[in-house]
Amino acid sequence: MIYRKRMKIMSFESYIYEKKNWPSFTWNEGHLLPVLGRVRNLQGKLFGKMISLGFSLKADAVLLTLTLDVLKSSEIEGEYLNPDQVRSSVAKRLGIDIPEKMSSNRTVDGVVDMMLDATQNYQMQLTTDRLFSWHTSLFPAGKSGIYPITVGNWRKDEYGPMQIVSGPAGKQKVHFKAPDAANIPAEMEKFLNWLNHESGHESSHETNHKSGQKEMDPVIKAGVAHLWFVVIHPFDDGNGRVARAISDMLLARSDGSADRFYSMSTQILKERKMYYSVLENSKDLDITLWLEWFLNCLERALLSAESVLNQIFKKSEFWTIHKETLMNERQRLMINKLLDGFDGKLQTSKWAKIAKCSNDTALRDIQDLIEKGILIKEAARGRSTNYELAKF
């Protein structure tokens, strides 16, 4: 038996898909209405601010958000992509001109292609072929790490059932066993029929009895779809990333816009332990607790988007102030990196490495910016001299 990727997803004594009424999910609508109302209010405020932005600032915000979404969704799975490659790949596909372009590999381009198809083409129906295309994009070499997997098709389980396990050999604990591979086509047909239907499932048996079929809020639908897809676990690998892409697609529908200004995956990464814990405890068809966490996580993602916008505004303000200041391309490159949130401390050696110049040239660039009041030296710490942007 082959043990699949050790994702901490669920730990069921009996599995949710074995319940009698699967997949008729229920939830307490009244319990969720307060947080759903706050989420919808924040979405409206955020997009109201975005409408007032000029084209350039809006493009910067979308580029930053989508770059974070791609990076963080992969990091949730323990996979780390090159941020500059991701940013360049997103910019290229959206037609956004950036000064520091970088070539990207097939893996980066594949993840970007999936995310952009989900969010930019959010109004399109999700089909089996589209999902297979996403999966092929995620694994262009046909492997997960060094292991061959079925790509662009449902898992086959040739080596035994899809299980999530932990522990040493011979003492493994099975956290979750996915539905049998033979059942996946039927399971996914039900899922896709529901996803592409305008109204979908109702919120509770009580609501069904009183009012019958009604349209589901697309934010709620994003949460239901995320859980449902993860339970089916239809692929050999990449199920988490595809589930989050599906959620992003439905959130784009809820916004009525392909422009992305908040990143759910970034917030999920911050709350990864709780994310897995809530999934693990989603053992019954009443998924109120899961949806409550999902909505609260989304609310925090929307609130965090304020800091992203402040970063964009700060960058715009800087270049407005210094529109007449003479700077070479290396200086513009490095200042933009500082404005975007430089990782670690800026030193002469780092400047030289990133700007592809000698240490002497880097030092001259830095001293010139100090004389212009743009950079300042940090307080001395050890032998290395660090630099940061002056307040403006």
Domain ranges, ordered by start, for the chain: 16-306, 322-389
* Architecture of the domain made up of 322-389: Orthogonal Bundle (1.10)
Write down the pLDDT at residue 366: 96
Name the average pLDDT for the chain: 87
Closest residue by Cα to residue 191 from 3, 16, 360, 24? 24
User: pLDDT at position 380, please?
Assistant: 62
pLDDT band at 210 (very low <50, low <70, confident <90, very high): very low
pLDDT at residue number 383: 65
Encode pLDDT of 129-159 as tens digits.
Answer: 999 999 999 999 999 888 899 999 999 988 7
Give yes or no for residue 10 having a pLDDT over 50.
no
- 154-176, pLDDT tens digit by residue? 999 887 777 766 666 666 666 67
Would the pLDDT of 201 be above 90? no
> Cα–Cα distance between 247 and 241 in angstroms, integer?
10
This prediction has a pTM of 0.80
pLDDT at 202: 42
Q: What is the pLDDT of residue 311?
A: 80
Using the predicted structure, report yes or no on whether residue 379 has a pLDDT greater than 90.
no
Query: How far is Cα of residue 43 from the mean position of the Cα atoms in its chain?
Result: 17
Model pLDDT, residue 98? 85
Q: What is the 8-class DSSP label of residue 162?
A: -
Q: What's the whole-number mean pLDDT along residues 368-390?
A: 86
Q: What is the CATH number of domain 16-306?
A: 1.10.3290.10
Two tokens, residue 276? 């897995």
Residues 85 and 101: their CA atoms lie apart, in Å, by 8
Name the E strands within the chain.
143-144, 147-148, 163-166, 173-177, 375-377, 387-389
Do the Cβ atoms of 77 and 96 come closer than 8 Å?
no
Residue 297: predicted pLDDT: 97
Cα dihedral across residues 89, 94, 95, 97: positive or negative:
negative
How buried is residue 382: exposed, middle or buried, by Cβ count under 10 Å (0-12/13-18/19+)? exposed
For 184-205, what is the mean pLDDT? 77
> pLDDT of 306-327, one tens digit each?
777 778 888 888 988 998 999 9
Residue-wise pLDDT tens digits, 246-291 = 999 999 999 999 999 999 999 999 999 999 889 888 889 999 999 9
- Distance (Å, rounded) from C-alpha 228 to C-alpha 208? 20
Asked if 43 and 254 touch (Cβ cutoff 8 Å), the reply is yes
| CB of 66 closer than 8 Å to CB of 76 | no
Among candidate residues 9, 49, 18, the one with its CA nearest the CA of residue 262: 49
Structure-token match 């910019």, residue found: 91
d(CA 241, CA 220): 19
